[in-house]
């Protein structure tokens, strides 16, 4: 069994986000950290470190326009030279002043055209980088009841999604992201999985739902959504992070490691592991250093996956069938309570990696090197 | 315009629930009130009082088996004699010891068969009472992670729903209710509108979603769901009540009258008013007297409807189109801030009713009469 | 170090609640289980089994009037004969029809007198049983804005608490419990720790706050409250259970084991371990068997405690002082990620216990014995 | 009675915040608006417009260092010339890179000294401007469990508060603000009213709690806190705004006007009206124009106050005393359902103001004037 689990863990791929290496923060303050990248090339270099020490983070998601370059083929080559590849393309239609009242759902048709243009441009970039996945998140929504027509905004959204869908090439898909609130504070146009699902369903199989683990109302059972979307064959992937309150964007597994385990269990149970489900990180390292923050996050996903793989499926199914509540719970918790760190250390050594990625990165001197070298220029960042 | 609004208000129909007239409570205590009905016939008599004084509550929903009788045609005649009719049939598959681990999603096929049998019996009762609507709420779910297989439970649910759907006759439909939690505390099998919607979609147009206003996670924008389901032509109706925390089942409009106004606005905006959307009350009058509790609730729905009808659609649409946030908000709030009680009083008088239903009921002596007459026998109630 | 940890674990005392052995449920249904106790004597017998197999549950909390007997000294002797003792006395002023609008905060002075009488009677029982702790939970509150005067209810509450405080003997204390909502749905009279704290502060050191881990608003950081109350020397103890949504009363550690670890860490950090802080269970085993439900819960508290004891205080303090966010987090998580079950199994064996209490109980035949013997009579239960 | 109400409304004073006139936004984007002030002088000019049209907003709160000037006496004169005065001084210890891990609770004593220095400087500014109130909000907290010692942070907080308290002159006070989360995502050092209250209690009467209506966990009953703090004589004032989800900082009364009414009712009921309780606005007009956003907010507070003043205290008290749930609720709701806009329009006319402040401002041409004049220079804003 341990052999199977190791084989499964060896297959795992976790995508890091280019923006996690830049500065981030809250509306109150973006704290600047030393050595932070100043362009997409430096971001890829940092992401390559995460893969170097974990061995399971071979692709990097881009964010357009934050990662805009003149030569995307060149950027892709640069990534390859660093040992990584370009992953999903993330569109950004929330940072121009034009988008104050929305992008694709804006009451102004001119703004809608502009936003759609950007989305289509993202597919152009996918063609150039060879990316298979477009991630669509819309901050669109309203702050005050009555501010705009909720239904008309759905019509506008449907129109834009259809145009993007039609533009997708063979082997390309888009993932539609939902989010309860922020930055819209009354009604968000894609607030929950049901809304994203309904839109995707009308378009076809290339439209799938992406679950950002920080985007739900308090008390929402996320693994239920995962199980349900897998059953409906509409789960496209994850934006992993963790939260205690709202969309805190903390390191995945930091706030509720048991929840992460339950999510990974449903992924595996639903046949979503090792398939086309994308495991992406989407986090903000506001106060911790970025590269080790990403390494730790990758390790947290690995640990949750290892525990989920350890669940004794037969024992669990047997207890469930008998209605043995405590027996089923015990079979489930037995896996969660296991310390899988030795197993993962062993796995890393077998793959020629250091068993302790955090310590290995620390010893590598990379952190000191970028602090020394990256002087001058504007650090990458996001938000206002 | 006032004429149109009055005409619209005159058309409104609000359905009262038979169980609201019985005793109810929390898990801590069901407080007994004097004069409470002892059988379905007395419940209908009380419901008829609500209609007598408000003029807009002509039907009464039944709950099976709480309202089981030998002669449903006789019960329907009894209702007609009282001036009301039988409305929706509510199934109950949560109060037998067999259902401890679920009804239609129970791991035990025998329990599932029993539960399905009950649901089909409810359709038989619909045939006898002439009811067009079956309301399905499942308390099914699990309390502990791992307790049962989330996905298998969806398979079982789909199977039961299909069997019920096939049994529906012409002019009959079912409404599928969702609820975040309680009595299941880990995963509820129909926890949100998306789940209910997805199941209904696969079955056909006779399967629709019912929105219980107390069944959402904190922060959920309910009127968005209403607008969305109307756009998808899948909104079947409401179970109205209000809540500050969980499924408190307080009188509708008591906790957040502005929310009720927003919901009614979206109903009207989405073309759901005066159509097949059922406005049903589903409340627990734990500490207040039942009949006036229902009268007050009906009045609260009327007031919210009147305000929603008062929204100046042109002014609102104009401001929305211009992106005038404060102007659109003002147009919306102007209607909400209007005191519509004089309008409703006038409307009642025009219909030969007392302008003040609460006072009229109080003066009627009905409350004293039932306290005096209903002595002996077991009072109707619900819950454990 | 392992020696110290074992010594600390050996000192741990967890109190079981008599009511956990009776039937419980939600407002929708109390499912009856076979073999459930029919009186306080049988409850104590069941609680003794929990202590027999875990070795750390030597006392049992009583609930008055559920556990009313004629001869409390005799009940205490019965407990001693079974190898356990009587713990805290829990008052119950929420299950008489008189308390519909409150007990000690009721607008009716007659009801207030009755409620206070019950509380004082509980102190009488403490004198008889030798209990040192009175637990006060008030379901008092209102369902509708305006229903009663919020401030006057505080005045009435303060008056009752003062009377109880004055009645306490040497070596006696009361613990005041707070709860956000349920069964009151608008305003609860003791809704949060701040309210409980403020009342206790005015009375003196014998009045302390008890933290029920299921009684908070979503998102509340419970361990912060624990740390704060310990710093103020006002933490009296815990009612342990776990929840995903509201006051679900699931087995402690079942919903969020990481949270339980964090709570135990703050207890230890704040000097509350092994002192006068009472670790009590307060759970409802609605769908799982009661005795093994309690055994599992005791084990969950032990495991969280063991992990919290494992935190390397020096490493943690060092990283904290340096502002090393990831280092401090790693030191903390290192303890949590450790599998402490072998340590606890060893500890049990050293104490002459079976290393696996769940299996040992199962093998003991006690479950079958009570099912066979406890036939006839009314099973103990709670709620409506 | 209408005369009394008018007199009370005439006495009302609502303080506007200088920062509401600058640009604001979310972490995703701060949208720039035209005509926004470029310095504290222009902010005061805009705030003066709010007072000019509403007549009840005669003071303006400052935020240091955002409103730092060389000559505070000159700034105060400038305000007086504009017809307004300087109100509370708001400290800001969250926007320097030094504060990444906290200000007064930072593990680094050097950072703590710096933060305390800023707080004391704010008192110096109070001396210069004649402000009586210092508002203290600390963003201090941690993002990850274990990151820092929760209890040590309380010790550091207490030390800083004591130093500030000692520095306060006669007629000066500080208001301590609490907030559940953001920007700290695991544990905030002053997360709830209980924490703020406990710290104030130890210092003395010049330390009071300020309630920001957007800073609570979901489901928190804010008016209960208001009533409780008034009973304890520790309520210092409000930061008014409204929210659907987290700290949305929408216009007060926009999200839940009924809640605002309930809050104002408790203020009046508790004797906090017309006393030293400060009614301050603290909002972000991210997408709506700032000055009319403030005017509308002031009007919303006035309307809620007028309704609260309309509550028939005798009718309410009578129904409450009799335990007449529906009668008490009706007395309460009767006031809320009244349209008080005509009364307020009348009141304004009697005071020589335009009855419609929004329209009057629009007609004034001030909006066009500032857009034309304020060209060049950096617009005021906040956040990162």
pLDDT at B381: 86
Of C24, C99, C181, the CB nearest to B245: C181
Token pair of A210 as six digits: 């992406």
Is residue D384 over pLDDT 60? no
Question: How many CB atoms sit inside 10 A of residue A377's CB?
Answer: 10
What is each CA distance from A207 to B201, C293, D188, in whole angstroms? 18, 45, 40
**Mean predicted confidence (pLDDT) in C157-163:** 98
User: Three-state SS for B251?
Assistant: coil
pLDDT at B345: 98
Token pair of D133 as six digits: 């109130």
Chain Cα centroid distance, residue D310: 24
Reported as a pLDDT band with limits 50, 70 and 90, residue A384 is: very low
What is each CA distance from A272 to A85, A222, A236, A302, B272, in whole angstroms? 22, 15, 9, 15, 39
Interface test with C, best of A310, A325, A332 (most C CBs within 10 A): A325
Residues of C with Cβ-Cβ distance to B111 under 8 angstroms: none
Interatomic CA distance for residues C380 and C37, integer angstroms: 6
Residues of C with Cβ-Cβ distance to D146 under 8 angstroms: 311, 316, 320, 328-329, 331-333
pLDDT at A261: 98
**Mean predicted confidence (pLDDT) in B367-373:** 98
Among the ranges given (B271-280, C103-112, C134-143, C234-243), the one the predictor scored with the smallest mean pLDDT: B271-280
User: B141-142 and A173-177 as β-strands: parallel, antiparallel, unpaired?
Assistant: unpaired
Chain B nearest C-alpha distance from A191 (Å): 9
Q: Is residue A223 within 8 Å of residue B153, measured between CB atoms?
A: no
What is the phi/psi pair of residue D136, to 5°? -115, 115
What is each CA distance from C259 to C231, C252, C254, D31, in whole angstroms? 20, 10, 10, 39
Residues of A with Cβ-Cβ distance to D139 under 8 angstroms: 28-29
Is residue A382 over pLDDT 90? no
Of C258, C293, C338, the CB nearest to A257: C258
User: Three-state SS for C88?
Assistant: strand
pLDDT at B1: 63
Reported as a pLDDT band with limits 50, 70 and 90, residue A138 is: very high
pLDDT tens digits, residue range B286-324? 999 999 999 999 999 999 999 999 999 999 999 999 999
Nearest chain C residue to B31 by CA distance is: C97
pLDDT at D381: 86
What is each CA distance from C134 to C172, C191, C236, D6, D130, in whole angstroms? 8, 19, 11, 51, 52
Q: What value, to the nearest 5°, has the Cα angle with vertex C218 and ends C213 and C220?
A: 60
Interatomic CA distance for residues B279 and B309, integer angstroms: 16
pLDDT tens digits, residue range B211-266? 999 999 999 999 999 999 999 999 999 999 999 999 999 999 999 999 999 999 99
**What average pLDDT is seen over chain C?**
97
Collect all residues from C whose CB is shorter than 8 A from any CB in A.
Answer: 218-219, 221, 244-245, 254, 256-258, 287-289, 292-293, 296, 303, 325-326, 329-330, 336-339, 341, 358
Interatomic CA distance for residues D341 and D323, integer angstroms: 32
Closest by Cα among D268, D262, D261 to D313: D268
Helices in chain B by DSSP H: which ranges? 2-11, 40-54, 72-82, 109-129, 150-167, 193-203, 222-231, 257-269, 290-310, 313-321, 325-337, 341-350, 357-364, 366-373
Q: What do you get for the CA distance between the two ends of chain C, in Å?
A: 49
Cis ω for the linkage preceding D214 (within 30 of 0): no
pLDDT more than 90, % of chain A: 97
What is each CA distance from A80 to A11, A48, A73, A364, in whole angstroms? 19, 10, 11, 21
pLDDT at A339: 98
Closest by Cα among C294, C300, C25 to B143: C25
pLDDT tens digits, residue range C275-324? 789 999 999 999 999 999 999 999 999 999 999 999 999 999 999 999 99
pLDDT at C1: 63
pLDDT at A150: 98
Question: How many CB atoms sit inside 10 A of residue C158's CB?
Answer: 17
pLDDT more than 70, % of chain C: 99
- Tokens 């297989």 locate to B149
Nearest chain A residue to C261 by CA distance is: A256
Q: Is residue C278 within 8 Å of residue C267, measured between CB atoms?
A: no
Q: Is residue C219 within 8 Å of residue D180, measured between CB atoms?
A: yes
User: Three-state SS for C35?
Assistant: coil
Neighbours of chain A (3+ CB pairs under 8 A): B, C, D
Collect all residues from C whose CB is shorter than 8 A from any CB in B.
Answer: 24-32, 94-95, 97, 99-101, 139, 143-145, 180-183, 185-186, 218, 243-246, 248, 250-251, 254-255, 286-288, 383-384
Q: Inter-chain contact B329–D287, Cβ cutoff 8 Å?
A: no
Which three-class secondary structure string do you get for chain D? CHHHHHHHHHHCCEEEEHHHHCECEECCEECCCCCCCCCHHHHHHHHHHHHHHHCCCCEEEEEECCCCCCCHHHHHHHHHHHCCEEEEEEECCCCCHHHHHCCCCCCCHHHHHHHHHHHHHHHHHHHHHCCCEEEECCCCEECCCCCCCHHHHHHHHHHHHHHHHHHCCCCCEEEEECCCCCCCCCEECCCCHHHHHHHHHHHCCCEEEEEECCCCCCCCCHHHHHHHHHHCCCEEEEEECECCCCCCCECCCCCCHHHHHHHHHHHHHCCCCCCCCEEEECCCCCCCCHHHHHHHHHHHHHHHHHHHHHCCHHHHHHHHHCCCHHHHHHHHHHHHCCCCHHHHHHHHHHCCCCCCHHHHHHHHCHHHHHHHHCCCCCCCECCC
**What average pLDDT is seen over chain D?**
97
**Mean predicted confidence (pLDDT) in D209-232:** 98
**Mean predicted confidence (pLDDT) in B47-59:** 98
Neighbours of chain C (3+ CB pairs under 8 A): A, B, D
pLDDT at C284: 96
**Mean predicted confidence (pLDDT) in B23-31:** 94
pLDDT at A58: 98
Residues of A with Cβ-Cβ distance to C330 under 8 angstroms: 296, 358
Q: What do you get for the CA distance between the two ends of chain A, in Å?
A: 50
Q: Is residue C256 within 8 Å of residue C63, measured between CB atoms?
A: no
Of B326, B337, B338, the CB nearest to D289: B326
Interatomic CA distance for residues B329 and A101, integer angstroms: 14
Of D106, D145, D322, the CB nearest to C332: D145
pLDDT at C3: 83
pLDDT at D274: 78
Residues of D with Cβ-Cβ distance to C269 under 8 angstroms: 149-151
Interatomic CA distance for residues B351 and A66, integer angstroms: 65
Interatomic CA distance for residues C145 and B374, integer angstroms: 31
Q: Which domains does chain D have, with CATH numbers?
A: 8-311 (3.20.20.150)
Closest by Cα among D238, D100, D98 to D175: D238
**Mean predicted confidence (pLDDT) in C138-144:** 98
Question: How many CB atoms sit inside 10 A of residue A28's CB?
Answer: 16
Reported as a pLDDT band with limits 50, 70 and 90, residue B144 is: very high
Nearest chain B residue to A311 by CA distance is: B146
**Mean predicted confidence (pLDDT) in B157-171:** 98
Q: What value, to the nearest 5°, has the Cα angle with vertex A298 and ends A294 and A303?
A: 145
The neighbouring-strand residues paired with D210 are D177, D237
Interatomic CA distance for residues B265 and B278, integer angstroms: 15
Q: Inter-chain contact A328–B194, Cβ cutoff 8 Å?
A: no
pLDDT tens digits, residue range C41-91? 999 999 999 999 999 999 999 999 999 999 999 999 999 999 999 999 999
**Mean predicted confidence (pLDDT) in B330-338:** 98
pLDDT tens digits, residue range A78-133? 999 999 999 999 999 999 999 999 999 999 999 999 999 999 999 999 999 999 99
Reported as a pLDDT band with limits 50, 70 and 90, residue C7 is: very high
**What average pLDDT is seen over chain A?**
97
- pTM more than 0.95: yes
pLDDT tens digits, residue range D275-284? 789 999 999 9
Q: Is residue D146 within 8 Å of residue D186, measured between CB atoms?
A: no
- Tokens 């006032």 locate to B2
Is residue D383 over pLDDT 60? no
Interatomic CA distance for residues A133 and A123, integer angstroms: 9
Token pair of D164 as six digits: 């500030």
User: Three-state SS for C109?
Assistant: helix
pLDDT at B308: 98
The neighbouring-strand residues paired with B237 are B210, B278
Is this complex's ipTM strictly greater than 0.85? Answer: yes
Q: Is residue C103 within 8 Å of residue C115, measured between CB atoms?
A: yes
Nearest chain B residue to D330 by CA distance is: B296
Interatomic CA distance for residues B211 and A104, integer angstroms: 28
pLDDT at C384: 36
Is residue B10 over pLDDT 60? yes
pLDDT at B384: 36
Is residue D43 over pLDDT 80? yes
Residue A33, C-beta contacts closer than 8 angstroms, at least 6 positions apart: A23, A289, A290
What is chain B's length? 384
pLDDT tens digits, residue range D306-364? 999 999 999 999 999 999 999 999 999 999 999 999 999 999 999 999 999 999 999 99
């Amino acid at each position: 069994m341990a052999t199977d689990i190791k084989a499964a863990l060896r297959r795992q791929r976790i995508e890091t986000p280019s923006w996690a290496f830049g500065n981030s923060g809250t509306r109150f303050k973006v704290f600047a950290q030393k050595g932070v990248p100043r362009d997409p090339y430096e971001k890829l270099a940092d992401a390559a470190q995460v893969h170097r020490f974990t061995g399971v983070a071979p692709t990097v998601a881009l964010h357009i326009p934050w990662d805009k370059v003149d030569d995307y083929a060149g950027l892709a080559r640069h990534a390859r030279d660093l040992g990584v590849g370009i992953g999903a393309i993330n569109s950004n239609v929330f940072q121009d002043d034009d988008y104050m009242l929305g992008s694709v759902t804006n009451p102004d048709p001119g703004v809608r055209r502009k936003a759609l243009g950007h989305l289509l441009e993202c597919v152009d970039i996918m063609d150039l980088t060879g990316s298979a996945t477009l991630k669509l998140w819309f901050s669109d929504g309203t702050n005050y009841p009555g501010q705009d027509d909720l239904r008309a905004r759905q019509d506008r959204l449907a129109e834009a999604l259809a145009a993007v869908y039609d533009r997708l090439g063979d082997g390309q898909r888009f993932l539609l992201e939902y989010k309860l609130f922020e930055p819209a504070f009354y009604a968000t146009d894609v607030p929950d999985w049901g809304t994203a699902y309904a839109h995707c369903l009308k378009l076809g199989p290339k439209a799938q739902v992406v679950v950002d683990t920080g985007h739900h109302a308090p008390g929402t059972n996320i693994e239920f959504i995962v199980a349900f979307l897998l059953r409906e064959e509409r789960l496209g992937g994850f934006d992993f992070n963790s939260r205690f309150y709202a969309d805190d964007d903390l390191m995945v597994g930091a706030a509720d490691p048991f929840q992460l385990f339950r999510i990974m269990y449903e992924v595996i149970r639903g046949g979503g592991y090792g398939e086309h489900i994308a495991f992406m990180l989407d986090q903000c390292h506001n106060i911790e250093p970025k590269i080790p923050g990403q390494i730790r996050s990758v390790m947290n996903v690995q640990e949750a996956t290892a525990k989920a793989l350890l669940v004794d499926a037969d024992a669990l199914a047997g207890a469930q069938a008998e209605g043995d509540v405590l027996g089923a719970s015990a079979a489930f918790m037995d896996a969660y309570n296991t310390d899988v760190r030795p197993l993962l250390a062993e796995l890393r050594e077998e793959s020629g990696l250091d068993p302790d990625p955090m310590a290995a990165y620390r010893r590598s001197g990379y952190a000191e090197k970028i602090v020394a070298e990256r002087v001058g220029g504007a650090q990458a960042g996001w938000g206002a």
